[in-house]
Amino acid sequence: MITMGMLIVFGFAFQGFFGVAAGILIASLVGLGYGWVKKERFFIRWSLLALFLDLLCMIGFYGICNIGQPAIDKPLPFNTIVSNPLKQKNMKHAMPQLPYELEALAPLISKETLDFHYGKHLQAYVDNLNRLIEGTPWESLSLEEIIQKSDGGVFNNAAQAWNHTFFFQTLTPKQGEMPENLKAKLTESFGSPEEFVQQFTKAAATFFGSGWIWLVADDKQQLSIVAESNAGNPLRDGLKPILVIDVWEHAYYIDYRNRRAEYIDAFWKLVDWKKVAERI
């Protein structure tokens, strides 16, 4: 009995209810063993009763503590396809759905590059954004509204999430012919589709540092090429994004090291011209 008392006191001092319960559990087992060895029925009966009541109390207390607590979801793998690209349980913004498998763009863009570019970099922007906006007025706004109105870390992560999503969804492993309406618009604005590609390529190849090269449309549906550094997004200037290339080094370093020109050449072989035409 003295041993049981000491264990109970120690347990309470150590960790409250569950500490006491652990002390009673150990004391009950000790008493049970002692009674069994000494053939003392008194110790055996009371030790079994204490053990039973202790376990019953622990189960009941655990159940009470967890009433109303939300279930904890297992984390999704970084390349899980989410049916809604902007919503996911327990978070405002979620990873976008890719229209192809991670290995589908190889060898022009390898699976390893997408594992890092899509699965690590974009995931980090999404996670950071959700963390930064939690409990703030930004939490109730759309991604586009956040980009247009915010600055600092909120803007950087929101814009990078949007920019990367737009970029990844512009690519395809099964490139088709450029639709006639897109050819006509490019000819109207640049002289020809070939001239547009040449001007866009030059802008991307000569851009200093990290950023994005965009094909955009203004409110009069006139097309132009815009270069944005870092997380820059033309939505802030009232322009409509049509096409983009990511010229951050992490977009191509695994496959091309510092050979940005080769990456740009590969990009043109993966552009989904049909999707680009639909954005005009």
Q: What is the pLDDT along the chain (280 residues), one digit of tens a residue?
A: 444 444 444 444 444 555 555 556 566 666 656 656 666 666 566 666 766 666 666 665 545 444 433 333 333 333 333 333 444 444 689 999 999 999 999 999 999 999 999 999 999 999 999 999 999 999 999 999 999 999 999 999 999 999 999 999 999 999 999 999 999 999 999 999 999 999 999 999 999 999 999 999 999 999 999 999 999 999 999 999 999 999 999 999 999 999 999 999 999 999 999 999 999 9
Burial 219-252 (b: 16+ CB within 10 A, else e): eeeebebbebeebbbbbeeebbbbbbbbbbeebb
Q: Where are the domains of the chain?
A: 2-65, 76-280
pTM: 0.68
Q: How many CA atoms lie within 13 A of 271 on its CB side?
A: 21
User: What dotted CATH number matches 76-280?
Assistant: 3.55.40.20
Q: Helices 180-190 & 193-206, crossing angle to 10 degrees?
A: 70
